[in-house]
Amino acid sequence: MGLKEGTLESLIESRSDRLSPDIVFREMLEAIDCLALHDLIHRDMKPENILYITRSDGQYQFQLGDFGLCNRSVSAHTFVGSPLYTAPEMFRRGKQTHKVDVWSLFVTMVWVLDVRGFRQKSKQFKSPDEVHEFVLLVASEEQAMSRIREMAIFDPEKRASAAQMLVKCFDGEGLSTPRNKVPALNSSPATVVAKDPAQSVPTPTARTTQKFPRGLQRNTCRIEKARVRQAQPSVHDQLLKGPHLAKRQRLQSKDEQNLQQD
């Protein structure tokens, strides 16, 4: 790979008026799909790792760089990546597939479009859960992200693949996965970003000592255990327990004796 002119992050900061978010999106989908076809996961998709050059027609061409954390899905088990862009299943030590890159690309596009001032907010988040809640909110409510909201589904099994998004948004242009191998994308807007209740509380192993840059503090992927309120017993149930039960038995025995005497 030859030298590149810079990164997507530096290009955004330069306020270039020739930047096309659609081109960034399509070319990164192509990169993820190509990796997925070979059972590879990049695991660190973010603006700083997207490189660009200027083509002869003046348009930018983008390429995914920094493969230092890339791994095969069968060997990808450790927590790596940049917390701001990292998929929820990474924090919960869930199975890692190329779907983690899909989530990261969605967050990257939120950053590129600066949806709800995300670039500034990204420096203020105190935990990964705050990031995830913001991403889910954007996916469900922002019209600008409605076309690609399937990428932000909390459950990776239900999250769209890069190939599916290429088919949906670009009619399959740039696919590496054979078109006949791409499952139909079937999602409902009402449930597309639904957070799986079973995943809302991570296991104890989900804690990490990873350093959290940009305001994400260390050891902040902690979540308090769910507090399940037990149903309060009715007054009738209480009268059938403890000292009430003994008193009731004595009264019942006395009533039976009185009946026998009568």
Q: CB count, 10 Å around CB of 34?
A: 18
Contact 31, 80 (CB under 8 A): no
E strand spans, the chain? 6-7, 40-41, 50-54, 60-64, 71-72
Residue 54 phi, psi (nearest 5): -100, 125
Say which of 39, 44, 171, 237 is annotated catalytic: 44
The token duo for 242 is 């403890």
Question: 121: Cβ–Cβ under 8 A, 6 or more apart, which residues?
Answer: 134
The encoded tokens of residue 213 equal 């840059």
How many Cα atoms occupy the beta-carbon half-sphere of 167 within 13 Å? Answer: 18
Contact 177, 33 (CB under 8 A): yes
Examine the residue annotation and report whether 44 is marked as an active-site residue of this protein.
Answer: yes
| Separation between Cα atoms, residue 262 and residue 243, nearest integer Å | 29
* Residue 50, strand partner residues: 64
Residues 6+ apart with CB under 8 A from 170: 26, 29
Q: What would the two tokens of residue 75 be?
A: 């060997």
Nearest to 33 by CA among 166, 145, 159, 169: 166
Residues recognised as catalytic: 44
